[in-house]
Structures are given as C-alpha cells and as structure tokens.
A and B are shown apart, each in its own frame.
Chain A
Amino acid sequence: MSVDAPAKAIPKPREITTKPRVSDQIFRGVVTTFSFSALLILLLIAAFLLLQGFNTFREQGIGFITNFEWVTFTDENGVETANFGLQAMLVGTLVISALAVLIAVPLSVLTALFLTFYAPEKLKKYLVTIIDLMAAFPSILYGLWGFFVLMPMAVYWAKLINKWLGWIYIFDVPQPIFSRSPFIAGLVLTVMIIPIITSVAREVFSQTPLDRIQAAYALGATKWGMIRAVVLPFGAGGVVGGSMLGLGRAFGETVAVFSVLNIVFRSNFQILFTQGGNVASMIIQKWGEATPKEVGALMAAGLVLFFMTLIVNFIANQIVVRTVKSGR
C-alpha cells in the first residue's frame, strides 16, 4: 500500500431493518403477553391479599408484626374486637427454618461431594435419581412420615439432648413434653430441603475448573486436600445460594409442619419443647373457624409470608445465577 494514496473514508454502518410480517407480529404479541402473565399474577396476588388484609394492617399497624397475641372477641352486639400479632409465628418460622438449614447444609454438601468426587459412576446415577425422587415427594407425605416414623425416634433423641445438654437454654424445657416440637418440625423441613441444596451444590462442584484441580494434585495433594484447596472455595457461593433456596422453601412449608408441630402463640426458642409454629401452618389452623375479620387478618399474614419468601428467593437466585450458571 503506497504511503501517499489518499485514505479511504470508512463508511458508516448501514442500518438493517426487517419489518416483521403481520403473522410474526401477532406471534410475538401473543407470546409476549402470555409471558407477562407471570408478572400479572404476582401483582394480583399482592393486590388481592393487600385488599383483604388492608383493614388489619390499618387497625393493627406495626403491631401486626410485633404483637404476640392472636385473639378475637365478639360481644353480644356483634361487635368484634381483635388483636392480631404475628410475632410468635414469625419467630417460629425463623427458628424451624434456621434449624433446618443448619442441619441440611452439611448433609447436602457432604452428599454432593460424595456424588461428585467419590461415588463410582453406576452408583452415582442411582443416587442422583434417589435425590431427585426426594424432591418429588408430596409435602403431606413428609407430614405423615414425620409424625408416625420420625417423631418417636426424634423424641428419644430430644430426651437425650435434654439430659446431657439441658443446661443450655435452647435445650432446656419447662416441662418434659417432647412431642410436636420445633426440633421435630426442623428435622422434617431438613429432609424436605436436602434435595434442593444438594442439587445446587452438585452442579457447582462439578463445574470446578479442571486445571485448578490438576494443579492441586500435581503438588502432591490428597483428594481431600484438593477439595479443601480448590472445590470448596470455588463452590462456596453456590452452596450459599442453594441454602437460601432451601430456606425459602422452608419458610412457606405448610402441611408438613402442621402435622408435627404444636402451634401455640408464644415465641419459643426452647426447640425441644412442644410449642412453636410458622405463619403458613397457622393460617391453615385458624382458617376453619375464622370470623370475617379474622379472615382478613389471615390474608394479611399471607401477604407477609409472600413477601418474606419473595425476598429470600430473590437473593438466593441472584447468588445462584452469579456463581453457578456463569461458572466462575
């Protein structure tokens, strides 16, 4: 190319427009509309629950969240006075869900590690099927199993824990009644959320970059040394995300908890004792005989539950998307 040739001007890129045909426009319109139905439904849920629960929020104010009582009294004139406070149930929700996550995460991580790094191929396929199966069990099955099979054993364990560790507040009990306790509800929830956490953990562990794994082995690491140095740091984010997904599931669990927990309106941190509750199962419990005012309050409770799970799931999905799907 000779130096003194005049430089050619670089043309501006042409704008390429394709006007979609009418049939395609209709197609796109229909599909898009239906996709937004998800948004519509979520908005409607919030809207209608708010509508019904509005009076409750107005009358109770912030007390709806912070009060402990749930009473309604109708006098001879049909005037109903009520005091609705969710705090006991909110505390209960947090207690049993936290317990569930606390037990489920180590078990799930161990299982995921076993599946990814230790299990022989054939065994792995069976185990993965079993865990997926667990996710498909109906929650009322967990309720039945939890009550009739797990509870007798769990009561025995609770007695043991109380005997040896009862000097710690949470393991102490005001009376020796151990059935239908937050401990047992927590155990049932543990079993229900293990499949979720395990499958997320498994996905992130299996994405561990091979070159880092090889680097660790080439330095003379044992398998566990490699896992500690490479897999766990890499997978930590994914495990956290999976745990939060499990937490969200635990928040909203209804019939399984209802079957194995004695719902009482007191904040109870003594998990071995037969007193507890969560918002979802309380709604079921009160629904049957609820006065119209109470129905409104239950709707309000449902709204609170809705937002709780929404927030937790949002955070969880953000973490999972950033760590698992993109493959750090």
Chain B
Amino acid sequence: MSQAQISTATPTRPWTPTVKDRLMTSASVLLAVLSDVLIVQLTPMKGKIAYFFLFFILWFLIDSIFVYRSKGQKGVRDALAAKVTLFGGVIVVMVVASILWETIHRGLKGVNFKFFTTTLRETSLFDPIGSGGIAHAIVGTLMLIAIAIIFAVPMGILTALYLTEIKGKASGLIQFLVQAMSGVPSVVAGLFIYAAIILNTPLRSSAFLGGLALTILMVPTVTRTAQEVLNLVPRDLREAGLAMGATQWKTVALVVVPAARSGLITATILGVARIAGETAPLLFTVGVFDSYNFNPFKGDQGSLPTVVWRGLQGGTPESIQRAWSTILALLIVVLIMFVIARAFGTRQMKRK
C-alpha cells in the first residue's frame, strides 16, 4: 500500500441516532401524550400529577413495543432504565422549579419600595402589605453575618491550614471533628449559646450571641471548602517559597494564601449562604424585634428569617404574604451569593 494512496474520508458517527430513530421516538412520545390526555379525560383521575405519572407509564409501554421488535427483552430493560432515571431527574427538577416559582409568584405581590425601607414597628398582623417593611431585618441579618464572618472565617481558614500545611499528627482527629461539627443541628447551636452564655453571664439576647451561634454552623462549611481550595494550590509553589529560604509561615502567608485567595472568598461566601437563612438558633439567642437596633451587643434584633417565622406563625393572610415576600428577598440574597461564590470558584480553577 503506497503512501500516496491514502483516501481522504469524511468522519461519520454511525452510532448516533438516525433520523428514523428520532422519528420513532417522537412518534412514541406523541402517542403517549395523546393517550394520556384521553385516558385522564375518561377516568376519574385528576390533577397534573396524574397526567405526569400516566404519561411516563404510557410512554414506556408504547416505546417498548418498538424496542422489543429490534432489540428484544434486554433492549426493553435498557430502555426502561433510561426512562426511569430520566423520570427521577425530572421529578427533582420539578420540585426545585415549584419552589422557585411559588416563591417568586407569591412573594412578588408584597414587594414594593417601602418594603425595603421601613420597619415593622407599627405594623400589626392585620395591616396590609402596603405598610411596614423589613429594613430592620436586613440590618439585623447583615449584623449577624458580619459577626459570624469575624469569628468563623479565621477559625475555618486556620483549621484548614492546619490540615493542609502543617498536617500534624492530630489531622485525623481534627478532620473528624470538623465533620462532627457539620452535623450539629441548628437548634443545638442555639441552645448551647443560651445555656453557656445567657444562663451564666449577664449577657442577654443580642446579635452578638446570634452571631456566635451561627459561627458554630458556619465553621465546618468554611473549613471544608478552604481545605479543598488550599489543596489545589500546586505543591511547587510552596516548595519554591521554602527553597528561597522563607520560613513556613511566610510561605503560607505570602505565597499559598494569596494563591488561593479567590477560593477562600468562595469558602466564606458559601459559609454565609449556609447561615443566612437559619432560623432556629436565632430564636434562642436573638429573639424577634420589629424595629432598628443598631447595637449588636444589647437587645433583641430583627432578622430576615425571624420575620418569615413570625409571619408564618401569625396566620393572617397579610402576615403570610409578608412571610413570602421576605423569603423571596432572602432567597434572592442567597442565590446572588451562590452565583458569586461560583464565579470566584471557577476563577481560581481557570488560573491553574
């Protein structure tokens, strides 16, 4: 075979579904939809859920007839598995879609400019949405987040540094402890602060104590993410620092941490997202309050989650509306943080 005779050929992918395959799939889906609608109309079944489940059953049955002819019983099982896994995924997506849609749909009704700029000081349970807002709660939540960051971020990052840089003998124990901490229920965190501080010191409900409770919940998230991020810093960077004669702490402080900077910010943001919506610990440590309180060390504080909580407990349509609108605000905040955290996270990935 001489080299000059290489025939140039066009690449093909004969294993991808052909037009005929796609037509058959569409046909079976269409048939399933039609029979689905028909059956639901004729029988006492009702509701979107009925349509949904029945569609999948019908689709599978119809499609199996086609598949059996070409691929036999094992082909049918394979097709069933593919549909069932799709079914599972669709259910999960539908649930998330429902949560997002309902929150936006119901919450948006109560949102206006005043919502973000006034407080609930003069609002009763029955006052309609036009009056009162969550400005105080926003301030309160920001205070709580700030306090939690002050405590949790250093603790979290230092713990992560121990695990990735020092790697001492206690690493296994520390790793276990971090995981144990991540399992602490939020109620217990609140109870603990109450038991330790409120019952034993003159300090009473305040944003400060709430921030401490939230710290307990935030540290494991920060530590875990920071650990992953620090482990991504290439070993050569550390070795380069040490080879230049720098001490370990200088290497860590001036080389490793800056290299992981965006990832550490991600860790912080993820930690904040974790605690921003926590309600239970606040009920024990911060209480509920309807107007501004700019003192983090004294007095009950309003916060977004407790506003939702109170709205839900209130039971009137107006207070419930307030709850939805507040949770919408909270959800948007969490989503924004999520998006930012991802953006930072991928930025660090790209730099590697």
Q: How far is the CA of A134 from the CA of B248 in the complex (A)?
A: 40
**By the criterion CB–CB under 8 Å, are B327 and A141 in contact?**
yes
- Given known contacts A24-B249, A110-B89, A314-B180, is B191 in contact with A299 (CB within 8 Å)? yes
The answer to whether B89 and A114 have CB atoms under 8 Å apart is: yes
Contact between A313 and B182 (Cβ–Cβ < 8 Å)?
yes
Interchain CB contact (< 8 A) of A222 among B77, B216, B312: B77
A224 contact set on B, CB distance < 8 A:
77-78, 80-82
Distance of A305 Cα from B153 Cα, bound (Å)? 27
Contact residues in A for B223 (Cβ distance below 8 Å): 38
- Asked if A20 and B188 sit within 8 Å, CB to CB, the answer is no
Residue of A nearest to B84 (CB): A110
Residues of B with C-beta under 8 A to A148: 102, 106, 320
Q: Which residues of chain A from 280 to 328 have a CB within 8 Å of any chain B CB?
A: 280, 283-284, 287, 298-299, 302, 305-306, 309-310, 312-314, 317
| Cβ-defined contact, A38 with B174, below 8 A | yes
Complex: A252 Cα to B181 Cα, angstroms: 13
B-side contacts of A177, CB under 8 Å:
none
Nearest chain A residue, comparing its CB with the CB of B311: A144
Quick check: is B130 within 8 A (CB to CB) of the other chain? Answer: no
Interface centre among A108, A132, A317 (most CB of B within 10 A): A317
Interface stretch (choices B23-31, B192-200, B203-211, B232-240): B192-200
Minimum Cβ distance to chain A for residue B187 (Å): 5
A167 CB-CB contact with B under 8 Å = no
Contact A248 B85 (CB under 8 A): no
B186 contacts which chain A residues (CB < 8 A)? 139, 252, 254
Residues of A contacting B: mostly: helix
Stretch in contact with the other chain, from A25-33, A59-67, A208-216, A265-273:
A25-33
| Bound CA–CA A171/B335 (angstroms) | 39
The size of the chain A interface, using a CB distance under 8 A, is: 90
Q: Does A7 contact B (CB under 8 A)?
A: no
- Does chain A have a CB within 8 A of B305? yes
Cross-chain contact B185 with A305 (CB below 8 angstroms): yes
Query: What's the Cα separation between A156 and B44 when bound, in Å?
Result: 14
Please pick, from A36, A107, A115, A306, the residue contacting B185 in the complex, using a CB distance under 8 A. A306
Instruction: Determine the chain A residues whose CB is within 8 A of the CB of B231 once the complex forms.
Output: none
List chain A residues, Cβ under 8 A from B168. Answer: 28, 32
Chain A residues with Cβ below 8 Å from B252 are 27
Stretch in B32-40, B260-268, B275-283 with 4+ CB within 8 Å of A: B275-283
Q: Which of A227, A255, A317 contacts B176 (CB 8 A)?
A: A317
- Min CB gap B91→A, angstroms: 6
> Which residue of chain B has its CB nearest to the CB of A312?
B183
- Asked if A309 contacts B183 (CB within 8 A), the reply is yes
Q: B89, B170, B327: which contacts A35 (Cβ < 8 A)?
A: B170
Q: Offer 13 A-B interface pairs, CB within 8 angstroms, sorted by A.
A: A28-B168, A37-B155, A48-B192, A52-B195, A133-B96, A136-B334, A136-B335, A140-B279, A144-B324, A223-B82, A224-B78, A309-B188, A313-B183
